[in-house]
Homo-oligomer: A and B are copies of this chain.
């Protein structure tokens, strides 16, 4: 309650000891007799003592705050990340200052500078693709992809891709269209690489890079998935649940039943994945663990760092770990048409769509 409660000195006076002794007792550095320490702790608790971070920061050079730098807060993955980091950080006694890059590299640099100016003890960065995080001047933990050179903590995107692929393979899918939107993204390339590697021998795989959909425009160029179904694709493996959602609704809109006639999978288990009909099969990151590792590494680096080396060229430290992804199977993926009988039906909006039954379920485009 009490904003920056009573001061240390008040406790000291109340007990007739020095502020230094109170400080020592409270920090448990052991320079105080057990009884005295106990008495001091009791009084502190009773008075609702909360140390002034400002005072401490000024003395120690540590603010107990870390920055969270994100490429774009609008990213639907942001909530998961922020929540996990906030939990890990506050458990470790750190506050989390947010900084938004708004998708822009210049803004990212500025955001990082602002955090530095605020004397954060360290920062967690989810870099915008292609960004080099260097000589920031404080400990940094990067969350990205194992493929990113340097110290990073990341989900095993490749392994996640393999899980998705194994799942589709086990269902009997042999023609898979992989959908991504950013060939420059390490994360997407890892996921796609994983999918392709697990599917390599058994299936025909094609990758479709889609254009970023202009927000607000909303008129979205259709991905032409109905045609892909007609060509024989039975599964659409998207690198994000956002693409999966786009694929799912486009297929449904074209009158193609999911999962009876085409399976759709995504990545990240975003908020809507279980809400949609049919619910999306996806692979999720263990954000809690990723955040825990990142923050732990950060805290360790902060501890090892000499707070007085303030200036340029200070060590950039980070974690280096890879966390498995978890497959979440829901109703948007099932055995392909070949193995499941479909009652005769006419397709809505048939004008633009070839009836998939008239095309071979697979193989016609095999090399």
Chain A, 207-237, CB within 8 A of any chain B CB:
213-220, 222
Known: A245-B275, A275-B246. A119 touches B76 (CB 8 A): no
Task: Tell me the A1-37 residues at the B interface (CB within 8 Å).
Answer: 1-4
- CB neighbours (8 Å) of A348 from chain B are 255, 257, 345, 348
Does residue A278 face the partner (Cβ distance < 8 Å to B)? yes
Contact of A83 among B73, B96, B345 (CB under 8 A): B73
* This chain's copy number in the assembly: 2
A242 close to B (CB within 8 Å)? yes
Report Cα–Cα, A349/B258, bound state, in Å: 11
Question: Given A50-B117, A98-B96, A218-B279, are A311 and B3 also a contact pair (CB < 8 Å)?
Answer: yes
When distances are taken between beta carbons in the complex, the residues of chain B under 8 Å from A345 are 346, 348
Residues of B within 8 A of A63 (CB): 54
The 8 Å CB contact of A79, one of B75, B213, B218, B255, is B75
Q: How far is the CB of A95 from chain B (nearest CB, A)?
A: 5
With A98-B96, A138-B3, A218-B330 as known contacts, state yes or no: A76 contacts B271, CB within 8 Å: yes
Tell yes or no: A39 within 8 A of B by CB: no
- Give the interface residue-count category, chain A: 35 or more
Q: Which residue of B lies closest to A258 (CB)?
A: B253
Q: How distant is the Cα of A253 from the Cα of B79 in the complex, in angstroms?
A: 28
A324 on the B face (CB < 8 A) = no
A104 nearest CB across to chain B (Å)? 13
Q: Are A277 and B257 in contact (CB under 8 A)?
A: no
Q: Judge whether A78 and B79 touch: CB under 8 Å.
A: yes
| Residues of B with C-beta under 8 A to A218 | 273-274, 279, 328, 330-331
Q: Which 4 A-B pairs have the closest CB atoms?
A: A218-B274, A252-B252, A54-B57, A218-B279
Binding site for B on A (CB under 8 A): 1-4, 50, 52-55, 57-58, 61, 63, 65, 68, 73-76, 78-80, 82-83, 86-87, 90, 95-100, 102, 113-114, 116-119, 135, 137-138, 213-220, 222, 242, 245-246, 248-250, 252-253, 255, 257-258, 271-279, 310-312, 314, 328, 330-331, 345-346, 348-349
